[in-house]
Amino acid sequence: MRNIYKFLFFLLMFISFLDTIVGVAVNTTSAVLITVDQSGKGDFQRIQDAIDAVPSQNSEQIFILIKPGIYKEQVVVPEDKPWITMSGTNETSTIITWSGPWHTLQNTTVSILASDFVGRNLTIQNTYGPGIQAVALSVFGDRVAFYGCRIFSYQDTLFDTSGRHYYSNCFIQGATDFIYGDALSLFHKCYIHSISENGGAITAHKRSSMDENTGYSFVSCNITGIKPNSVVLGRPWGPYSRVIYAYTSMTNAISPEGWNDWNNATKRSTSYYGEYMCYGPGARSSKRVEWSHQLTSDQAKPFLTKDMINGHEWLRPAPTQFKKPSFSLKPKK
């Protein structure tokens, strides 16, 4: 009998340990529905008010449906509010917009600090323009996915900073280091558009050691720009920067050398920049910098699927069942 109690004790301890690693199990087929509508016909008129209403450490999936409109506000999903989905009805008609330079998180249009967040069918933009960092979207949480979203700015559009992330069928536009940070992220079937006039970079990844399992992979994407030879695929923010492009169409906006060492030749031997089965005039490899890699199938394989981000463990479909919230829907003062 004592052995049974001992077994149950260790079993409970193990379950508690798992909870601290992967979080509380959540029913992903159903969700609490909250609507945001500027006309006043929804639960809230502001997106941030809807997020503020969600209880801290909630254990239910929350689906915030944002009706068409231009929402001029800054949105923060705090760390203690996981399992939130923000969804527009159409990415061209549901727009979250702000204009301001980036100094702190408070100067980002949308900031995702929580884990298990999903964004769907949204436009997120910072209209500040050139001259200084102006972040549209910053992503700090783990297990975060965006589907069919449009993300616009000029310099440092997407601060993809930490955690595992998945971007599917998204449009991302900028000129200088407009996808940057130190996350482990897969960009699948995304449209990447550079508005650089000269010398811009798409990525600035910040991996700082070989032991970090981080990097960006672009698979089956399209890359365009406004001028020929005006942008490179990436430059190393961190010494072990890692970026891969595979099965991706590249126009002549990509400079023939492909990559830039950010005026630091020591990073050439530690950065890992690779291309696999890319095509189009910007994908020609004959003039690529000698320290980049044209990958073999075995070298490219770890970067080609959702396994790269352990996506089979956490990516989830949109909920199919909805219910009313049990918490108050009054805006907090």
For residue 126, how many other CB atoms are within 10 A of its CB? 30
- Provide the domain count of the chain: 1
Q: Do the domain assignments include residue 270? A: yes
| CATH number of the domain encompassing residue 177 | 2.160.20.10
Q: Which of 152, 160, 158, 161 is nearest to 128 (CA)?
A: 152
Which strands, in side-by-side order, build the sheet including 69-72? 69-72, 94-98, 123-126, 150-152, 171-174, 191-194, 222-225, 249-250
Question: Average model confidence (pLDDT) for the chain?
Answer: 91
The pLDDT score that the predictor gives to residue 332 is 66
Q: Would you state the pLDDT for residue 1?
A: 37
Query: In the chain, count of helices (H) and strands (E)?
Result: 3, 27
Task: Provide the domain limits for residue 149.
Answer: 64-311
Answer yes or no: is 10 within a domain: no
Q: Which of 141, 181, 187, 148 is nearest to 164 (CA)?
A: 141
129 pLDDT higher than 90: no
Residue 35: inside a domain, yes or no?
no
- Residue 159 in this model has a pLDDT that exceeds 80: yes
The reported pLDDT for the residue numbered 326 is 86
Q: What is the pLDDT of residues 252-291, one digit of tens each?
A: 999 999 999 999 999 999 999 999 999 999 999 999 999 9
71 falls within a domain: yes
pLDDT band for 330, please (50, 70, 90 cuts).
confident
HSE, side-chain direction, 13 A CA sphere, residue 162: 9
* 115 found inside a domain: yes
Positions annotated as catalytic residues are 156, 177
* Across 82-99, average pLDDT: 96
- 14 is a domain residue: no
pLDDT for 333: 60
Can you tell me the mean pLDDT for 133-140?
Answer: 95
Give the pTM: 0.91
Question: How buried is residue 145: exposed, middle or buried, by Cβ count under 10 Å (0-12/13-18/19+)?
Answer: buried
Which whole number is the average pLDDT over 159-163? 96
- Residue reference for tokens 């805006």: 331
Helices assigned H by DSSP within the chain: 2-22, 47-53, 297-300
d(CA 92, CA 75): 18
- Kindly provide the b/e burial profile for residues 58-75, where b requires at least 16 CB atoms within 10 angstroms of the residue's own CB: bebbbbbbbbebebeebb
In a domain, 235, yes or no: yes
Residue 146 contacts residue 167 (beta carbons within 8 Å): yes
Closest of 216, 217, 278 to residue 249, by C-alpha: 278
Of 6-15, 55-64, 105-114, 229-238, where does mean pLDDT reach its minimum? 6-15
Examine residue 145 and state whether it is found in any structural domain, yes or no.
Answer: yes
